[in-house]
Structure 1
């Protein structure tokens, strides 16, 4: 009896394990994703290549159905549908670009797939990108490390894959043996909250007073800038601005926090800076969460609402004499926002999120480790603040 099914089955099983292990939420397991291009290239048919890709991306994003169900307070089915639909674009890319050819031709086609996964429009859902592992394999190498991992991923699709696999695994083990996390920005302090879905929805003065009290109680003596999570200040209005300036009066503390700025077309998901003397909108999110926040189909239906996407705007913002690379929530899971910001050589990376809806999933942990990996790759200090 011929066992033609054995090789596709083995590749599919290995790809699912790769997606699960790489994106389990531990920074040192990220390089497991490097195995994916090798598995993809070993497929003997386009159908198998598509299946290998599908199980990798579905395993990597396995927390999405449960997270969507929690966000919308619904059953699991809307989340399952979004999970499959969102992954389908990435599967199509890898199925279409797969080839029976070998050598440089296959490496070139996989390189094209990597680029398409990293930039819009496909990069909008380009999560679980294997190049994210560059910061663990080559910490501190910067653009050279990114180039080395990109080249290694491409070589893994050729007959030279054993040499590439051994080389990358060696650097991975060396890095793991001496791993240290990113430094924390000098004079910066991130504050994590556990306020669940009330953060950003409870806009009462008592909630704002509680946040101020939390900052005062947790502030270290050397802290000049404190970071609060996405949506921490709710709707950013003149009343909220005046309240915070009064609360900070007489001190030298600056607070950077998430908020929403509403206009007639919808809203911007932003980071604001407020101190005793002034305030400003620092950053407008480049890529809100597709579906739940960014809803580009609404204008086509004659409706307004949803978060605006400022795709390539404001990659760098300034606070005092420091240049920041800001990342809000979903931007930590995809490639182009962080690379665009790092192109401008910021002084530190600032990452915030509001992950109350991700309980019992690894989504927030994956956000954290992805951002840590990019920070280590470029040797940048990192400050993070999340609500769960």
Structure 2
């Protein structure tokens, strides 16, 4: 009976951490990382079961979201994405015990625990190829408190690896880590406001599913944008893809804005669009400034729904190793951007850290995720990245 209960207990511990952490208390998420070496001492499958429970609890919104995006697939495809992705995220942790044993003989127990945990979590949710689908990473909770939070979580992992003899010290580190991350979450909420005159436009356009719907949306948004510019907005950010494909007709609709910025060089507009590229597209922001347009491409579009290499026609470009930073300038300000799905991930945001942005743009198109916790998770992730980078975040979301 004990053998049957034990694996379920480990699974439920991970599920409880994930359920309570996302999206409203992500500072709790690193508890999963601290728990990994503890459950590893109970058996080789412990870390796998813990992280499987964690990811199943954080990604359940895929069931409903997939059914909305792919209405002909019914419930089955959503269940497959939910269970399949969670299994993939958890699989690297099956290697915890053999890697830990080898590292322990070289660098000692606590360092081996930290190294093994960081290495496997990086494979699972940071580095491509798994990093292009690895959302709700437990490291994001630590990131919200900056490098201090990251180092405290590593210290907590080290003490947890030492086992029961260091239980009191481990508890103290766990409590201090939680307090630091909790404080980081409050600092994040206090400092996330964009500069005065920077306006993110939220819309309720729903699913734009035809060329005519994109034209109508562009015409309405162009008028709304012009009104904001007339009222003195310095920067206007529009949601992801709301302008549709950036072709000659779309450019013609937005030409009044282009002309306006030629005469008002202190004003800039970012339009969510997708730009023709080969047989497919690039998900992008079109920056309109000084009478010119510039395409700002993303690096990682949503797999399956946007990026589908098995059917190149209409597929969006995937470029996780692009050397072109997701950065631009507005006046003297260095501006970073993460387009929709990228806000959930570790890899593109960590790349931004090397370029020292001063503000972060976070456009999204979440019509398909209404009724799930995915938009809230996305917003929490973007705010965590803003806190880690020490910059305000400007949101613009279509629902």
TM-score range, shorter chain: 0.7 to 0.9
Deviations 1:26-82 (A, max 9, x none): 2xx001111112333233222333222111111111101110110011311011112
Question: What residue is the counterpart of 1:257 in the other structure?
Answer: 271
Paired with 1:308 and 1:344, the residues of 2 have a C-alpha distance of 23
Report the CA distance between 1:155 and its aligned residue. Answer: 4.5
Instruction: For structure 1, list consecutive stretches of 5 or more residues without a partner in the other structure.
Output: none
3-state SS of paired residue (2:310): coil
Preserved contact between residue 114 and residue 154 of structure 2 (Cα < 8 Å): no
Paired with 1:380 and 1:80, the residues of 2 have a C-alpha distance of 37
Question: Is 2:265 the partner of 1:226?
Answer: no
Residues 269-280 of structure 1 correspond to what in structure 2 (within 5 A)?
A: 269-275=283-289, 277-280=291-294
TM-score, structure 1 length as denominator?
0.88
Change (3 A) 1:199 1:219: farther
Change (3 A) 1:165 1:148: closer
Question: What residue is the counterpart of 2:104 in the other structure?
Answer: none
Paired with 2:63 and 2:191, the residues of 1 have a C-alpha distance of 30
Report the CA distance between 1:163 and its aligned residue. Answer: 3.1
Structure 1 window deviating more from structure 2 (356-365 vs 371-380): it is: 371-380
3-state SS of paired residue (1:384): strand
Change (3 A) 1:228 1:157: farther
TM-score, structure 2 length as denominator?
0.86
Paired with 1:171 and 1:335, the residues of 2 have a C-alpha distance of 21
Structure 1 window deviating more from structure 2 (313-322 vs 86-95): it is: 313-322
Report the CA distance between 1:91 and its aligned residue. Answer: 1.1
Deviations 1:323-365 (A, max 9, x none): 2111011111110101101211011111111000001101111
Residues 303-314 of structure 1 correspond to what in structure 2 (within 5 A)?
A: 303-313=312-322, 314=324
Paired with 1:319 and 1:304, the residues of 2 have a C-alpha distance of 34
Question: Is 2:114 the partner of 1:107?
Answer: yes
Instruction: For structure 2, list consecutive stretches of 5 or more residues without a partner in the other structure.
Output: 102-108
Preserved contact between residue 255 and residue 273 of structure 1 (Cα < 8 Å): yes
Change (3 A) 1:351 1:173: closer
Report the CA distance between 1:197 and its aligned residue. Answer: 0.4
Count of residues in Structure 1 that have an aligned counterpart in Structure 2: 375
Structure 1 window deviating more from structure 2 (358-367 vs 173-182): it is: 173-182
Preserved contact between residue 181 and residue 372 of structure 1 (Cα < 8 Å): no
Report the CA distance between 1:186 and its aligned residue. Answer: 4.2
Question: Is 2:360 the partner of 1:360?
Answer: no
Structure with higher helix content? 2
Question: What residue is the counterpart of 2:359 in the other structure?
Answer: 348
Preserved contact between residue 238 and residue 270 of structure 2 (Cα < 8 Å): yes
Paired with 2:227 and 2:88, the residues of 1 have a C-alpha distance of 47
3-state SS of paired residue (1:45): coil
Paired with 2:393 and 2:299, the residues of 1 have a C-alpha distance of 19
3-state SS of paired residue (2:30): helix
Preserved contact between residue 103 and residue 158 of structure 1 (Cα < 8 Å): yes
Paired with 2:156 and 2:385, the residues of 1 have a C-alpha distance of 18
Residue 67 of structure 1, aligned match among 65, 68, 81: 65
Question: What residue is the counterpart of 1:132 in the other structure?
Answer: 140
Deviations 1:224-275 (A, max 9, x none): 1100000011010123223212255446342202111123331111110125
Preserved contact between residue 104 and residue 158 of structure 1 (Cα < 8 Å): no
Report the CA distance between 1:202 and its aligned residue. Answer: 4.2
Deviations 1:177-214 (A, max 9, x none): 66514131343110111111027854554432211233
Preserved contact between residue 217 and residue 242 of structure 2 (Cα < 8 Å): no
